[in-house]
Amino acid sequence: MTKKIITTNRKAYHEYHIFDKYDAGIVLTGTEIKSIRKGGINLKDSFVKLEGPEVFLYNCHISPYEQGNRYNHEEKRTRKLLLNKKEIDKLTGKVKKDGYSIIPLEVYIYKGWAKIEIALAKGKKLYDKRDDLAKKVQTRDIQRAVKNKNY
């Protein structure tokens, strides 16, 4: 069975060096999952934080569900993420020892469940961002030249 990607955090690959990726479940209310299935989620400026033996997602915007009336959810509430104890221990060690950050990369639906892909990351310096942009432009120019056979 394939996963249906709902949203991705496009700025993540530009702002951070990505190292390890983990898949986690999200604890949601009824109107939140309905809104996510409609595509009403935004990962911009969201982050993951470890609090003791638990992992939480902060600043993730989930739009209110139109038919939710008074039972609708708060848009930017803190949501708990579901990971194995071994994974949480690995994340805790890396964040405390090596100074990594944990960021969300994408939200997807798999077998009817909303999942989130999170990653251990380190922030890029300005010159790293410039190098990546120059490489991207260079590969785009090469692809364009090969396509047009102007080489």
Return the HEC string of the chain: CCCEEEEECHHHHHHEEEEEEEEEEECCCHHHHHHHHCCCEECCCCEEEEECCEEEEECCEECCCCCCHHHCCCCCCCEEEECCHHHHHHHHHHHHHHCCEEEEEEEEEECCEEEEEEEEEEECCHHHHHHHHHHHHHHHHHHHHHHHCCC
Q: What's 46's domain CATH number? A: 2.40.280.10
- pTM, to two decimals: 0.82
136: in domain: no
18: in domain: yes
* Residues 116-148 pLDDT 10s: 999 999 988 888 889 989 999 999 999 998 888
The total number of structural domains that make up the chain: 1
149: in domain: no
115: in domain: yes
Is the model's pLDDT at 23 over the cut of 60?
yes
142: in domain: no
118: in domain: yes
139: in domain: no
55: in domain: yes
Full domain range(s) for residue 80? 4-125
